[in-house]
Amino acid sequence: MRHLAFIIYFFLLSLGLSAQNNDSLKQVWQNSSLSDTTRLKAYIQLIGASYLFPKPDSAYLMAGEALEFARKANQRKYEAMALNTQGSARYVTGVYKEAINLYMASLKIREELGDRKGMAGPLNNIGNIYSDQSDYARAMDFYTKSLRIEEEVGNKKGIASSLNNIGTICQEQGDNKKAIDYYSRSLKIKEEIGDKRGMAYTLNNIGNIYLKEKDNVKAMEYQLRSLKIREELGNASDIALSLLAVGTVHKAQGQPQSAITYYEAALKLQESINDNKGIANSLGDMGSAYKEMGDYKKAIEYSKRALKLNEETGVLIRTREVAELLYECYKKTGDFKSALEMHRLFINARDTILSEENQKEVLKQEMEYNFEKEKAVAEKEHEKEILVAQEQATRQQIVSYAIGFGLLLLVVFSVYIVSRLRLTRKQKDIIAHQKLIVEEKQKEIIDSISYAKRLQEAILPPEHFLKTHLPESFILYKPKDIVAGDFYWMEVLKDGIILLAAADCTGHGVPGAMVSVVCSNALNRVVLEFGYTDPGMILDKTRELVLATFSKSDKDVKDGMDISLLMIDRKMNQVKWAGANNPLWYITNDQFCEVTANKQPIGMTDNPKPFTTHTFVLNEIDAVYLFTDGYADQFGGAKGKKFKYKPLKEILFNNASQPMHTQDQILEEAFDKWKGKLEQVDDVCILGIKLSKNF
């Protein structure tokens, strides 16, 4: 405790020691004989160094004063700096919405000035806010944009900061190995340039990962290293972060009382600078420690205060953690009504943070960044090597002309042959090098997409699951690329109802696969969460959820899906069906029948109408077929035309008496024969079920 008291004393002392420097900066600001740029630079430096963290509200007002001065003096650069400083002051106090608006205003001015270097800071700051709010897709977008600029202008401090921030996103999504890699690269750069404050942040992050992996010894080692640096620098907000981290390691070691001592010290520092986000963290950690000690009354008291602040600032991760903590405490104390309320809050926060769309978008952003970066490096190296080869050839030619006139023809000829051979060899080496780079990049991209395929396959019901409940059935599923926009879907409910669908999402490949994840997730929610079983109502609700998901984007997203959805109710002896653009084919009494779908997609459309549910008697239908348009749209044959729907109907009808696995083989062989050597143009998905054989 004496050590903690010393830290707080040291911080307060540092404020006094900085007073002299503050006075110097104030004098520059107040000296009207100096240039506007000199005065603004001193004032903004004063605000950032001495007011931003200990007194963020004062920093906001002072930056507003600098902003007004910069506008009157037409100093656009310093106008952007003042807006960025105001944004940081609001970020420190957890007023995220206003902070983003201020950062965006600063960014706009930097863009208008063509100040690439100045754009990186606001981009990174906006990424920090989205990361705090668990909007990792947007955070990764802003971080990678900032990193590209920092690398372009060679700003090592900015590069290190962006690498650290990307590592944080990887850590939050559970990829500790990748997070350690980003943190290590960031730490190395910070050590090279002597960025002590940045080093402390990264050491703190690495310590958190070791804590998650239950290596408490290494976790404490990194947190103490971070704390030591922060004590030297004397920044209250940073010191409080390290105190919280050290306390958390103590708690992990089974010493909650020691942890509370560190949490209380952190809380005092945060309250002294009005750090609402930090205060919420300290209160939440104290609640967790009291829960470990069995003091549920205090645990609830501190956690409720933390929850209120977290909901005000929009820090979703901490909201999830505190909601779970309160749920467990209320359950222990018998307050089951409050426990249920906290459990619902926990589930909502968790599902938002771990949404598959968010994770896949992060993967996509990182793939695009790495590919573009490597491609740019390869192109620069290629241009450099060709330029060197050309310069060498030119110099050799000049030397040749200097040789005596009598041997000119012979020498020129010889040198020409040699230079051409060298140039040819170099060009071959360059081509071979470029080929190797392209092959490596192609392999990395294919590996990443193959991993995405495994993620997409997780949403598809296994074939044995279909066979268990519908033994006489088949699935013909042929993605155009490694991943697909087409997918099939199945749910078996407790009351014997079976739901089955074949769906075609906008596009194919990676874009189509991402839309398929959104649409499949919406179907699952409608059936499992909302309890719908009527096909038409399922499609209506699915459209609503899909549109709600895409409406979160600031762009006009028109993606969606066509679908054929079947419901089989054994108890009621009924088959119900609804479709969006894709029809239903079925066979009854040796007749081939078709039911037309609603001519509208699951997605944005003009004049949307409710989807129609068609009802049939189960034992009067022999077989049904659900499908997308990929099979009929395939080009091939002798004239390279589309296969079309009529020949597909004939294949199904002529082979209706065959077992379903035989029909599957016949369809696939006919497709491959028709396609021949032409490229597959779209994803293919056909499901067939013999109802009379299954029931």
The pLDDT score that the predictor gives to residue 523 is: 93
| Predicted local confidence at residue 312, as pLDDT | 80
DSSP assignment string, 146-172: HHHHHHHHT-HHHHHHHHHHHHHHHHH
H or E, element range at 625: strand 623-627
Of the two residues 616 and 374, the one the predictor is more confident about is: 616
Q: Which of 66, 65, 86, 62 lies closest to 75, judged by CA? A: 66
Range from 94-103, 252-261, 341-350 carrying the lowest mean pLDDT: 341-350
The answer to whether 41 and 24 are in contact (CB under 8 A) is: no
Predicted pLDDT at 367: 45
Regarding the domain delimited by 459-694, which CATH topology (the fold level of the hierarchy) does it fall under?
Phosphatase 2c; domain 1 (3.60.40)
Q: Is 431 exposed, middle or buried (0-12, 13-18, 19+ CB in 10 A)?
A: exposed
pLDDT in tens, 525-546: 999 889 999 999 999 999 999 9
pLDDT score, position 612? 96
Phi then psi dihedrals of residue 206, to 5 deg: -65, -40
Report pLDDT for 53: 72
Indicate whether 17 pLDDT > 50.
Answer: no
Give the E-state strand segments of 432-495 in sequence order.
473-478, 486-492
Look-up of token digits 């050290």: 246
DSSP state of 483: S
405: which 2 tokens?
Answer: 């006139």
Residue 553's pLDDT is 62
- Mean pLDDT for the stretch of residues 97-122: 92
Report the 10 Å Cβ neighbour count for 673. Answer: 10
CA 221-290-334 angle, to 5 degrees, is 140
Percent of the chain with pLDDT over 70: 80
| Predicted local confidence at residue 374, as pLDDT | 45
- 482 pLDDT band, cuts 50/70/90, is confident
Of 254, 251, 195, 256, which Cα lies nearest the Cα of 223?
251
Strands (E) in 435-481, as ranges, are: 473-478
pLDDT score of 559 more than 80: no
Task: Output the pLDDT for position 689.
Answer: 95
CA-based angle 658:659:663, to the nearest 5? Answer: 70
More confident residue, 694 or 624: 624
What does the mean pLDDT of the chain come to? Answer: 83
Instruction: Kindly report the number of other CB atoms within 10 A of residue 301's CB atom.
Output: 16
Q: Can you give the three-state secondary structure of 635-665, one letter per residue? A: EECCCCEECCHHHHHHHHHHCCCCCHHHHHH
Predicted confidence at residue 10, as pLDDT, reads: 40
- Separation CA 615–CA 609 (nearest Å): 19
Query: What pLDDT, in 10s, does the model give residues 297-348?
Result: 998 999 899 888 888 877 777 888 888 999 999 988 888 888 888 888 888 8
Residue 413 has pLDDT above 60, yes or no: no
Q: In degrees, to the nearest 5, what angle opens at C-alpha 285 toward C-alphas 282 and 290?
A: 125
**Region 144-165: what's the mean pLDDT?**
90
Is 95 strand, coil or helix? coil
Residue type for position 459: I
Q: Output the CA–CA distances (angstroms, integers) from residue 613 to 7, 284, 440, 602, in the order listed.
A: 70, 50, 51, 15
pLDDT exceeds cutoff 60 at 377: no
User: Residue 274: phi, psi to the nearest 5?
Assistant: 60, 40
Domain boundaries, the chain: 358-456, 459-694
**pLDDT value at position 346?**
85
- pLDDT higher for 16 or 196? 196
* Per-residue tokens: 556: 């006009």
356 pLDDT more than 60 = no
The pTM score is 0.45
**In this predicted structure, which of 91-105, 212-226, 367-381, 575-589 has the lowest mean pLDDT?**
367-381
pLDDT given for residue 56 in this prediction: 85
Asked if 67 contacts 83 with a C-beta cutoff of 8 angstroms, the reply is: yes
Place of tokens 């749920």: 327
How far lies 8's CA from each of 1, 166, 231, 424, in Å? 11, 32, 9, 70
pLDDT at 65: 92
Q: Which residue has the higher pLDDT, 94 or 553?
A: 94
Query: For residue 602, which of 502, 687, 684 has the smallest C-alpha distance?
Result: 502
